[in-house]
Amino acid sequence: MRLPGIYFALLLPCLAFATPFQLAAQEDRTVVLQTNAAGDQVHVIDPATNTVAGVIEGIPRPHGVTSHPNGMFFYVSNEHDRTLDVVSASSLDVIRQIPLSGGPHNISITPDGRKIYVAIMWGDPAVDVIDTRAQRQVESIPMEGGVHNVYVTPDGKHAVAGSIMTRQFTVIDTEFDEPVWSLRFEPEFGLGPLEDGGVRPMAFETNPDGSTRFIFVQTSGFHGFHVIDFAERRLVRSVRVPAKPLAEIDNDGLQGSPGHGLEVTDDGRTLWFASKPHDTVYAWSLPDLGFIGGVPVGSHPDWLTSTPDSRYVYAANAGSNDVSVIDRETMTEIARIPVGQTPRRNHTAVLPGRAN
């Protein structure tokens, strides 16, 4: 199944006639890209209908996923081939495989679309830097341990690389592609004896000028998140999720950290948290971190993304092979979309339309 010709009008501007779909495609369109970690597909979800609009085939063990700001390309880290796969947004075909220095995990793109940072988990630990115009690796930044997740801050000035093995994240200056500071999750952070500090998903709160104010961090054994003051480079608070009776906790096949998935909505007003043992997505208001509540979803929610209007949150349910759609205003699950095997990383892509 292929996504309809979103960019047909872009590619053929001199076309004399257009179908109704192509005329509608003149406006921006949003899609949610959902990887399936135990398969070779990436599902393309249309938030307008909450149905699968297309499938990207032939990427074995897809891990991270992102999109170019111009909407022409999707990018997927391919664990099997150790490549960054470039996908045409119009045809959903893999058009190029960019070799990487090792086995990749998550990826993140700069706001201007010029660079992609790739977390290298296997092989020599590093963050690979991809030039999207040249479509090749231009730098490999050594790290102390394998990198699980890497995120570019909203202002594009830094990339933050988190390591499970070394229990730390490292902040990289994206102008020079050099590490500038690190923070390790040691016992003095208040972690209990069974609460390992391996760094998992992260999210960011910004200052009014767009610079980074706080990093929210999930760690391997902590069922909650830590708040790191970016300017002061220190922990300022740790927040645990509400407790549940043991009979309501789902530890069946649980892997990694109990909390795996953080999302700050585009309006900067809400932080969302995926709890795997609770099969629930929780929300806190920003900037006060007031607890809002929880929404039951599918089994083992593993990653989160939200729509640009901040109205809907999509939770990838790794244990039930589907995606839950959460309405932020009503705090309810309004749809559940079947996808592939073990859905994990997801990403919201905006496909800009063509001006008339």
Residue given tokens 């990487």 in the structure block = 100
What average pLDDT does range 139-149 have in this prediction?
97
Phi, psi of 115 (to 5 degrees): -130, 145
Write down the pLDDT at residue 246: 85
> pTM for the full model?
0.91
255 closest CA partner among 193, 169, 342: 342
Distance CA 315, CA 112 (A): 27
pLDDT for the residue numbered 17: 29
Please tell me the predicted confidence (pLDDT) of residue 353.
76
Give 351's contacts (C-beta < 8 A, 6+ positions apart): 6, 7, 28, 29, 30, 31, 71, 89
Cα distances from 15 to residues 8, 20, 23, 167, 296, in angstroms, run 9, 14, 12, 55, 48
The CATH homologous superfamily for domain 8-351 is YVTN repeat-like/Quinoprotein amine dehydrogenase (2.130.10.10)
In this structure, of 246-260, 263-277, 292-306, the range with the lowest mean pLDDT score is 246-260
The whole-number pLDDT of residue 2 equals: 40
DSSP-derived secondary structure letter, 22: H
Helix (H, G, I), strand (E, B) or coil at 246: helix
H/E stretch holding 173: strand 168-173
- Banded pLDDT at 68 (limits 50, 70, 90): very high
Residue 23 is predicted with a pLDDT of 33
What is the spatial distance between Cα 144 and Cα 199, in angstroms, rounded to a whole number?
13
The Cα 225–Cα 3 span in angstroms is 37
Those residues whose C-beta lies under 8 Å from the C-beta of residue 288, and which sit 6 or more positions away, are none
Mean pLDDT of 226-245: 95
- Separation CA 319–CA 81 (nearest Å): 25
pLDDT at 48 over 70: yes
Distance CA 262, CA 243 (A): 19
Of the pLDDT bands very low, low, confident and very high (cuts 50, 70, 90), residue 256 is confident
Backbone angles phi, psi at 105, to 5 degrees: -115, -120
Tokens of 23: 């005329």
pLDDT in tens, 13-38: 332 223 333 334 467 899 999 999 99
What is the Cα–Cα distance from 71 to 56, expressed in whole angstroms?
15
Q: What is the pLDDT of residue 193?
A: 60
Q: How far apart are CA 192 and CA 342, in angstroms?
A: 30
Q: Is the pLDDT of residue 71 over 50?
A: yes
pLDDT at 125 over 80: yes
pLDDT of the residue at 187? 67
Confidence of residue 12 (pLDDT cuts 50, 70, 90): very low
pLDDT value at position 15? 28
Look over the chain and give the mean of its residue pLDDT values, rounded to a whole number.
90
Residues 6+ apart with CB under 8 A from 232: none
List the domain boundaries for the chain: 8-351
Would you say residue 333 has pLDDT above 50?
yes
Rounded mean pLDDT, 348-353:
91
Average pLDDT on 97-106 reads 98
